Structure 1
Amino acid sequence: MAESAVKAVVGNVSNLAVQETTLLCGVTLEVECLKNELERLKWYLKSADAKWKSGDDSVATWVCQIRAVSYEAENAIEVADYMGKRNSLKKGFLGAISRYARLPGDLITLHKVGVEIKRVRRKLDEIFQSAERLKFNLDTSVVDKVHTDGESEQAYGLMYENIEDDSVMVGFEDEYEEIVDKLVDTEKNLSAVSIVAMGGAGKTTLARKVYTSSVVEQHFETIAWVTVSQKYKGIDLMKDIMKQIMGKRDDSLEQMQEYEVGKKIHDFLLNKIYLVVLDDVWETDTWDQINRRVKAFPNASNGSRVLLTTRKEDVANHIQMPTHVHHLKKLDEDESWKLFNSKALPSYIRRTISDVYEFEELGRNLARKCDGLPLALAVLAGYLSGNLNTQTWCDILLDWPSTKNGHMMREILARSYKDLANHHLRSCYLYFAAFPEDSKISVLALIEVWIAERFIPHIPNHKLEETAHKYVLELAQRNLIQVIDRSEVHGWIVTVRIHDILRDWCIEEARQDGFLDVINKLTGQGGASSSNTMISYRSSFQNISGDLISHESISNSARTLIVFRIPSVFLSNQLKMLRVLHVENSSLENFSRIIGGCIYLRYLRFRRCKGVALPSSIGKLLYLETIDLKFTQIDSVVPKSLWDIPTLRHVYLGNEFSPPRSLRHKELQTFELYLTCAETKHRRHNMIIFLGQMNQLRTFSWEISRIPSELINIFGNMPHLVHIYLNKFNVLKRIPREFPQSVWRLVLFADIIEQDPMPIFEKLPSLVVLELSGYHGRIMSCSAKGFPRMQSLKLDEFSIEEWRMEVGSMPRLSHLTLRRCRKIEKLPEGLLHLRFLVGDIELFNVPQINEDDNTLYELQRRGWKVKRSP
């Protein structure tokens, strides 16, 4: 039902009405009354939510009406709120007049707002009458299960233990060994292994385990993984492969044609022992498209391999080389129970249950019902791990639906979705439908857009980002999303994906909800909301080839527009209600003309796009929080008016950037800049002055061929910095002692660092991750009690002969990487005194350190894993 889309709007309108009534002059009373009615409506929604969870769908139309009127209320109030923000920013005589008096135009606007709010309140009266007819209870004792200030952080640490780990498999151990053996056997001719099974059977999990195994990593010189899915383009697959094997940036591939890409892949792989994984292949002609112009994967008779996963046996047999087809078996009863038990009743839950044997008996029966499918087992177990009530488990067993036509999986998903803690979390989950099939989704970007959509609630003493991270964690714990990458140090989730079966369910639920409409080449542009009574305020266009997306395809009421891989997108000047605009791999038309009118926009992201020109009217977007233009071709210089936006928090920019003299609002939290063009001396000077004003930053990243050395001095005035990424300096003669004590991750690359950086950086109390490149000095010294929290150290191109490390330095180190440190002859004995007895050491092109090194030998004996390359 539409409840998941409604409460976030109601909460946001209520908060806005509370905070901004002083700006509304004569309509203050109307706003206050509207606020009270919306608060009252929230309690009715709780009753509607309870009816919905119990299976009563009669409330769907009622909630649809609420969503529409809530959006209307928010629009009306934000008109006046925007007027107040605009007037407060005006300068000079006119600004003074507008701040202390009402101009005629403002009075007209306020009158219209008052009329609109009265109309909204009349609609609300009708809705309340409907609620009485539907016999909703006005029960103010019911509360959402949101995370509160008193919540134990330990509980989330325990929850993390139960998150699905792609490196852990149940029931596939023998099959794993068989496939690895096939890939690394002595056969020299190019050959393939195809894993075939139905959706949800664990093909990708098994392939990922094989792909990341140490045996495979050491056997092949080059490896690449591409996900094909149903909506692939051959040229895009080839570019993805090329990017992985050759390290090519996106912008260098843009102009390449299919033959050129295929030829470069062929020539590069010709002298390599390679493994290419094609995951989730649906059609037999995928192989033909990749090799249509040129044979991309050469047979150099050196033992190279292709690994393929598919649901169709004809696809597995179609690949034009000797192929071993492996039919993935379903889990048997014991394996099913083992997987189910590990996720529904992990050790930290078992310790809290007195009647665990009763749960085990019910659990074995439930696991048996899942028909040996790992996905069904994982999702059901994730749901039941949060419902430790034997009656609930028993009810599910008694009410088990038919397993025909996919009903089993749908019922499990529906139960798990309805059981999510609150409407905020349900909205966050449905939002995954907006991303293309098999997408790797950045958690950082996901959190920024969730916040812009107002899905993340304000909780006392919690930052919005912290709450959003907990939401990601909970969805992963329930196995509703899959974790792809985690930070190697703290285990935070970095990227995720959603299984295509779960995504299909989300798409259908989001459409029926009126929450989000997904249009792709399978549904066509006619694939609008399946319910005639539901108007979708969010649209996601995905992989539509051929004609452009025109303004007729997009509702004028749209609040969110998400676009992936569309040849041309025409943006209408009627899209004035947009809050989120997210476009990737597409060309835009008419953007510069209409953007100034999208005054309520909070989130603007263009990645790898063309036809983007930012006009000075961008400064009118007084609600804008995030602007992301990395890897996008900008047809204009970023206007200085951007920096006048008071709400701006996260900025990601590419080449076309000229710094203004001053930064009016200094609340930026994230600033990332990627430049490939040469910097003039004057421009570098202006940039340093401009950046030095950002004293609230938490993340700073600058990637350029030559960072001015003076930049290193600005960080002493940034006390909140957590992440610093600098790539790269030419020559750094000295490193200042005034570095922010809050820094958690520091990456600093230079051609030459003349001063030993360790005595400076080892005093940073919060530093956990350090990556350095370019120190040229005979000795590097780390003193006792230095780097108290350091867990990961990566050194690249360090021209040192001796590394001195006193006992007590880096007590928490668990990851050490040395790259191209050709002069160093041995590891320091101080490493033998580390508190963590097991860790990882990577040695790449460090020829002087070999197996005769006593420190290396002893660390290996203690269980440290050592990875080497020439």
Structure 2
Amino acid sequence: MHIIKSPREVYDSIKSDCSSTSRSLLCFGPYHQYPVPIHAMDFKLLRLLDAVTVRFYYIPLEIMKIVSLKYLALTCNGELPTSIANLFQLQSLTIEQHMNVKKRGVHSYMPLEIWDMQELQRIEILGRDLPTPNSDATLDKLIKLCGVSAKSCTREILKRIPNLHVLGIQLEVRPYDDVDDGNPLSGLDYFAEELRNLKLLICEVQNPDLKYEYMVPFSMFPSSLISLELSGIGCPWKLISDIGLFLPNLKQLILDLYAFRGPEWDIESQCFPKLESLIINDTDLVRWRGQPGSLPWLEVLIVQHCYKLQELDWTRDPSMATTSIFLIDCNPLVLSSAMRLPRCRVYTYSSL
């Protein structure tokens, strides 16, 4: 048995023993903030390269020569080279960032050549947007697009991704931007028409400024949505009924990091008719109340890091199935009210 102790030993061992015949290379273990020269090895037959735990200063051009690659995952702040189109068999592309540092007024895009990669099924590239193609190019096999901003959600772009199932949008509050007055949601009021096949929408606001109340165009979200994740938006709870009204097929709802805010959430009768899982994390909620007929199919309610929450009040139909409620790092006062809810199993956890 040979124990490899350092990245250098990893490099020497792979290069001498198996680099020319390897089909997969997965880099596990602790994150390396300094590059390991895995790109200098001869990986002619490699199909899967997962090196997210290794930092690259730039994306090595040697990797762009491994034309058999179908899966590529790296950590790099550098720009994606135009030679990415050489990887014509690539199905999954993930580029994470070592640090998310942006210059004012500078926006980063993937190269136009990304539209030539017809086998792509998944793109996860934080901080870089899809450019508008200058031809009739489409990505018919792309089902997942994550890490982009609202600039990738124009009708001109989304109509060229007809089978998109998962869309993850990263939005940023920019108080210095006079164009949208710091409202990161201003570009999301026109895109849902092109997303008839969308099943999961993830919408996250970075650096949220809770001085403002943002109006989210829930009526524009596609009714096909089964799962919705919202983070950092800071909407008032009174708007959440719009989700239950306009997204009747929703089965999972995740509200994270002040996605909504305010002391009370009243869930109206007949709201969220198909919801099975509700996760609430990090809010200033004090009272959660479900009116009769609301959440008829809810199986799991997870409430986490809601330190102000004091009461769960849910008028339930006796014929409803049992619901499991998980209270994780919450105000102890909420436990007694949760225990009184009919047909509910209550579990409490604390990290302290």
Question: TM-score, with normalisation over the residues of structure 1?
Answer: 0.32
Alignment-derived partner of residue 629 in structure 1 = 95
Once the two structures are superposed, residues 370-408 of structure 1 have per-residue CA deviations (whole angstroms, 9 ceiling, x without a partner) of xxxxxxxxxxxxxxxxxxxxxxxxxxxxxxxxxxxxxxx
Match 1:649 to one of 121, 126, 151: 121
Q: Cα distance, 1:672 vs. partner?
A: 1.7
Match 1:780 to one of 265, 282, 286: 265
Partner of 1:599, secondary structure, is coil
Contact 1:825–1:849 under 8 Å retained in 2: yes
Alignment-derived partner of residue 178 in structure 2 = none
Match 1:708 to one of 184, 197, 203: 184
| Alignment size in residue pairs | 316
Alignment-derived partner of residue 414 in structure 1 = none
Alignment-derived partner of residue 666 in structure 1 = 139
Q: Does the alignment pair 1:722 with 2:195?
A: no
Aligned equivalents of 1:823, 1:711: Cα separation in 2: 33
Aligned equivalents of 1:781, 1:770: Cα separation in 2: 16
Aligned equivalents of 1:709, 1:611: Cα separation in 2: 25
Alignment-derived partner of residue 313 in structure 2 = 828
Q: Does the alignment pair 1:766 with 2:234?
A: no
Give the residue type in structure 2 aligned to 1:786: C
Q: Cα distance, 1:555 vs. partner?
A: 4.4
Match 2:217 to one of 729, 732, 735: 735
Q: Quick check: which one's helix share is greater? A: 1
Aligned equivalents of 1:801, 1:598: Cα separation in 2: 55
Aligned equivalents of 2:139, 2:348: Cα separation in 1: 45
Match 2:69 to one of 581, 598, 601: 601
Partner of 2:223, secondary structure, is coil
Aligned equivalents of 1:732, 1:775: Cα separation in 2: 10
Alignment-derived partner of residue 7 in structure 1 = none
Once the two structures are superposed, residues 663-689 of structure 1 have per-residue CA deviations (whole angstroms, 9 ceiling, x without a partner) of 832332111218xxxxxxxxx663442
Match 2:2 to one of 514, 518, 523: 523
Alignment-derived partner of residue 300 in structure 1 = none
| % identical equivalent positions | 18
Match 2:301 to one of 802, 812, 816: 816
Partner of 1:733, secondary structure, is coil
Contact 2:22–2:46 under 8 Å retained in 1: yes
Sort the Cα spacing of 1:661 and 1:716 in 2 relative to 1 into closer, same or farther, 3 A: same
Once the two structures are superposed, residues 469-505 of structure 1 have per-residue CA deviations (whole angstroms, 9 ceiling, x without a partner) of xxxxxxxxxxxxxxxxxxxxxxxxxxxxxxxxxxxxx
Sort the Cα spacing of 1:790 and 1:543 in 2 relative to 1 into closer, same or farther, 3 A: farther
Unaligned runs of 5+ in 1: 1-521, 525-541, 675-683
Give the residue type in structure 1 aligned to 2:253: L
Once the two structures are superposed, residues 587-636 of structure 1 have per-residue CA deviations (whole angstroms, 9 ceiling, x without a partner) of 66996332333223211122xx46976421111222111111224579x9
Q: Does the alignment pair 1:842 with 2:327?
A: yes
Aligned equivalents of 1:564, 1:798: Cα separation in 2: 34
Alignment-derived partner of residue 756 in structure 1 = 238
Q: Cα distance, 1:847 vs. partner?
A: 6.7
Give the residue type in structure 2 aligned to 1:710: S
Give the residue type in structure 1 aligned to 2:345: W
Q: Does the alignment pair 1:686 with 2:148?
A: no
Larger C-alpha radius of gyration, 1 or 2?
1
Partner of 2:315, secondary structure, is helix
Q: Does the alignment pair 1:790 with 2:286?
A: no
Sort the Cα spacing of 1:611 and 1:783 in 2 relative to 1 into closer, same or farther, 3 A: closer
Contact 1:756–1:775 under 8 Å retained in 2: no
Aligned equivalents of 1:662, 1:708: Cα separation in 2: 24
Partner of 1:839, secondary structure, is strand
Sort the Cα spacing of 1:780 and 1:583 in 2 relative to 1 into closer, same or farther, 3 A: closer
Aligned equivalents of 2:220, 2:72: Cα separation in 1: 35
Unaligned runs of 5+ in 2: 101-107, 174-182
Give the residue type in structure 2 aligned to 1:639: P
Alignment-derived partner of residue 867 in structure 1 = 348
Partner of 1:596, secondary structure, is helix
Once the two structures are superposed, residues 513-558 of structure 1 have per-residue CA deviations (whole angstroms, 9 ceiling, x without a partner) of xxxxxxxxx437xxxxxxxxxxxxxxxxx76543462655444454
Q: Quick check: which one's strand share is greater? A: 2
Once the two structures are superposed, residues 255-287 of structure 1 have per-residue CA deviations (whole angstroms, 9 ceiling, x without a partner) of xxxxxxxxxxxxxxxxxxxxxxxxxxxxxxxxx
Sort the Cα spacing of 1:839 and 1:573 in 2 relative to 1 into closer, same or farther, 3 A: closer
Contact 2:27–2:52 under 8 Å retained in 1: yes
Q: Cα distance, 1:698 vs. partner?
A: 1.3
Partner of 2:280, secondary structure, is strand
